[in-house]
């Protein structure tokens, strides 16, 4: 019996057990298998990456939030002109990727030799998935040889606790700084005040996953040793569900949240989950009202920012060179030296060099109450990879459910490669929506509305029906974009599901030219009293789309506008799916 299969069955059993305990449909666990199948297909298509056998150039995949501070230090390191024994110049290059994508690409011919994720959780996941991949045909009792591990060495160079970030006025309303505030306080505030808006990113981002683990710890009443049994206990699940039910939406990493805060201020969110360094960065920029860090009373986890070297050189894979190893070690030494450690402190991170006092003169932690270097009082223990995977799976059954309409342009201009790529992107989106309490509908339009698939729960059968519908889409006709969005909005209002996130994701490659309604009609619909709020995401596919109209549509729906082409539309739909 394969060990990886045994583990998978164990996870599925635990998730199904949890689902039964909270009256959920266990059949939706099958959707995880469909999602993994699509992920595997993407990984199999990864391009072969090569470099010279004496190369001293090290490419590091870096997470978006860390990228600015990290790049400054990379530039400083490169300016030192350090050489290897054979005279090669040591150089570091960066590639910005989300941690989840780092893991996915690290499993098959990556274009980088090292990575720095926000949390060692991702490295644990990488080693776990790599071990399962390598031991597919090995007996259960066998051990993974040291030489078969994907991570060969690592060093931590900065840390930042995960906190609840709030505007100062909001924090004071919650009782800050006089008393400790926890997850239950956020839940109660959001329940009592329907205008209170907070979020945490999806579990594909470090702060979202760490916050979710903290909620499970709080629900289990533990600070250490979270187990699979404790995470799937009915009392734990009900606690997490009650907190998650008040999340306004999920989404991407904290850098995207900060961008929207800068543009929209208090209208966007009252509170959100992020690393502590976000508070420092915002307040240093002086962009308006202060943000403050709330350290959850129940305890929190830390983003520990490891730099890790991959052990490459398997079949059909270029090995890491001796010179690249030398560059990695030299760069790791550079990042942990006092000058670089103080640079991370200036950027709002806590250095790993404990000899540097956080409250020393010039430190961003000194002379401020927006952050507190003496906090958090309780640090939670990072659970093992098996527990993390169970929590991520169970989260799909505890998170706030979603009703989302996919509104798709199938006018004549979508013929050919555009429609083919759109079908792939839609299928990827559908399999990403994994919880069986979520509902997906689909409207495609040309001269008029062609097909309407009303909202249906995303069980295995519905998922396949939607994918079949997507495969059969045909491109012809003009572009009745606004009418299609109006239809989706009306259907969501008719469903009147106040417990869910209600959303429309609309894509077009052209100009509106055949709707009976216009933008004034759409705006009036959104401004009148609604049974449920609806958020709108718009995608301009290609250069001919009416970007001004799509931006206005997203603004009306308090959502986001994105641009896409044939190379990235699938990834864009995947990103949007993290909001749900």
d(Cα 19, Cα 116) in Å, to the nearest integer? Answer: 35
Q: H/E/C letters for each residue in 354-378?
A: CCCCCCCCCCCCCCCCCCCCCCCCC
Please say if the pLDDT value at position 11 is more than 50.
no
pLDDT at 338 over 60: yes
Residues 6+ apart with CB under 8 A from 152: 309, 310, 311, 320
What's the pTM? 0.87
pLDDT at position 3 over 90: no
pLDDT(525) > 90? yes
Of the ranges 220-229, 427-436, 532-541, 543-552, which one carries the lowest mean pLDDT score? 427-436
Are 337 and 416 in contact, with CB atoms under 8 Å apart? no
Tell which residue, 437, 563, 451, has the closest CA to residue 507: 563
The pLDDT value recorded for residue 143 is 52
pLDDT at 15 over 80: no
In tens, the pLDDT along 77-93 reads: 999 999 999 999 999 99
pLDDT-wise least confident of 31-35, 171-175, 359-363: 31-35
Closest alpha carbon to 427 in 38, 29, 27 = 38
Q: What is the predicted pLDDT for the residue at 134?
A: 79
pLDDT score at 139: 53
**Where does the pLDDT of residue 463 fall: very low under 50, low under 70, confident under 90, or very high at 90 and above?**
confident
What is the pLDDT of the chain when averaged over all its residues?
89
How sure is the predictor about 10, in pLDDT bands with cuts at 50, 70 and 90?
very low
CATH number for region 401-577: 3.40.50.410
Encoded tokens for 361: 């003169």
Judge contact between 114 and 307, C-beta under 8 A. Answer: yes
Q: Are 408 and 443 in contact (CB under 8 A)?
A: yes
Which residues lie closer than 8 Å to 314 by C-beta, 6 or more apart? none
pLDDT band (50, 70, 90) for residue 394: very high
ω into 376 cis (within 30 of 0): yes
What is the per-residue pLDDT across 19-64, written as a single tens digit (0 to 9) for each?
434 333 333 332 333 333 333 333 333 445 789 999 999 999 999 9
| 569 vs 546: CA distance, rounded Å | 17
Of residues 195 and 13, more confidently modeled: 195
Helix axes 3-21, 120-134, angle to 10 degrees: 120
Query: The domain 160-303+373-396: what is its CATH number?
Result: 3.40.190.10
What is the arithmetic mean of pLDDT over 324-342? 98
User: DSSP string spanning 246-279?
Assistant: T-SB--S-HHHHHHHHHHHGGGT-SEEEEEHHHH
pLDDT exceeds cutoff 80 at 177:
yes
The 3 state secondary structure assigned to 510-550 is: CCCCCCCCCHHHHHHHHHCCCCCCCEEEEEEECCCCCHHHH
**What integer pLDDT is reported at residue 420 of this predicted model?**
96
Among the ranges given (11-15, 167-171, 190-194, 418-422), the one the predictor scored with the smallest mean pLDDT: 11-15
Q: Is the pLDDT of residue 140 over 90?
A: no
pLDDT tier, 136 (very low <50, low <70, confident <90, very high otherwise): low
How far apart CA 549 and CA 558 sit, in angstroms, is: 14
d(CA 397, CA 19): 7
> 308, 153 in Cβ contact below 8 A?
yes
CA–CA dist 406, 440 (Å, integer): 7
Helix (H, G, I), strand (E, B), or coil: what is residue 60? strand
3-state per-residue secondary structure call for 162-196: EEEEEEHHHHHHHCCCCCCCCHHHHHHHHHHCCCC
- Band (204; pLDDT cuts 50, 70, 90): confident
Does 160-303+373-396 match 401-577 in CATH topology?
no
Domain ranges of the chain: 160-303+373-396, 401-577
Q: Is the pLDDT of residue 145 over 70?
A: no
Decide if pLDDT at 343 tops 60.
Answer: yes
């Amino acid at each position: 019996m394969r060990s990886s299969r045994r583990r998978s069955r164990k996870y599925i059993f635990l998730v199904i057990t949890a689902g039964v305990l909270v009256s959920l449909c266990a059949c939706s666990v099958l959707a995880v298998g469909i999602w993994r199948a699509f992920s595997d297909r993407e990984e199999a298509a990864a391009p072969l990456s090569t470099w010279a056998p004496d190369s001293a150039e090290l490419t590091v995949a870096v997470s978006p939030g860390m990228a600015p501070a990290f790049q400054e230090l990379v530039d400083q390191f490169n300016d030192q002109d350090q050489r290897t024994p054979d005279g090669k110049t040591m150089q570091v290059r960066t590639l910005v990727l989300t941690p989840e994508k780092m893991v996915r690409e690290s499993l098959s011919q990556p274009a980088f030799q090292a990575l720095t994720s926000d949390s060692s959780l991702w490295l644990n996941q990488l080693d776990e998935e790599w071990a399962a991949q390598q031991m597919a045909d090995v007996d259960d009792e066998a051990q993974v040889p040291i030489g078969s591990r994907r991570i060969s060495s690592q060093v931590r160079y900065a840390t930042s606790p995960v906190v609840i970030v709030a505007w100062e006025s909001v924090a004071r309303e919650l009782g800050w700084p006089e008393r400790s505030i926890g997850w239950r306080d956020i839940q109660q505030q959001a329940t009592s005040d329907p205008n209170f808006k907070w979020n945490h990113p999806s579990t594909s981002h470090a702060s979202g996953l760490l916050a979710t683990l903290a909620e499970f710890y709080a629900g289990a009443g533990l600070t250490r040793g979270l187990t699979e049994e404790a995470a799937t206990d009915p009392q734990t699940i009900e606690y997490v569900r009650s907190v998650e039910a008040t999340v306004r939406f999920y989404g991407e990493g904290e850098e995207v949240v900060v961008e929207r805060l800068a543009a929209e201020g208090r209208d966007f969110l009252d509170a959100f989950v992020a690393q502590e360094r976000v508070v420092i960065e915002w307040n240093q920029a002086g962009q308006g009202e202060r943000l403050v860090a709330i350290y959850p009373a129940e305890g929190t986890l830390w983003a520990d920012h490891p730099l890790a070297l991959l052990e490459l050189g398997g079949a059909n894979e270029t090995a890491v060179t001796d010179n690249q190893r030398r560059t990695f070690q030299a760069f790791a030494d550079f990042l942990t030296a006092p000058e670089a450690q103080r640079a991370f402190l200036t950027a709002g991170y806590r250095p790993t060099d404990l000899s540097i006092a956080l409250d020393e003169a010039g430190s961003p932690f000194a002379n401020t109450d927006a952050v507190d270097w003496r906090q958090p009082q309780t640090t939670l223990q990072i659970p093992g990879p098996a527990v993390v995977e169970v929590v991520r799976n169970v989260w799909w059954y505890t998170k706030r459910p979603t009703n989302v309409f996919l509104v798709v342009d199938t006018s004549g201009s979508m013929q050919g490669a555009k429609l083919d790529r759109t079908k792939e992107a839609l299928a990827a989106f559908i399999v990403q929506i994994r919880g069986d309490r979520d509902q997906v509908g689909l409207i495609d339009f040309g001269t008029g509305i062609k097909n309407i698939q009303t909202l249906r729960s995303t069980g295995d059968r519905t998922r396949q029906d939607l994918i079949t519908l997507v495969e059969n889409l045909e491109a012809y006709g003009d572009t009745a974009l606004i009418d299609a969005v109006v239809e989706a909005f009306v259907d969501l209002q008719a469903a009147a599901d106040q417990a869910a996130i209600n959303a429309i994701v609309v894509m077009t490659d052209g100009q509106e030219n055949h709707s009976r309604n216009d933008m004034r009609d759409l705006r009036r619909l959104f401004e009148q009293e609604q049974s449920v709020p609806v958020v709108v995401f718009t995608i301009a596919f290609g250069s001919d789309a009416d970007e001004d109209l799509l931006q206005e549509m997203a603004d009306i729906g308090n959502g986001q506008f994105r641009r896409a082409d044939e190379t990235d539309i699938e990834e864009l739909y995947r990103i949007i799916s993290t909001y749900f």
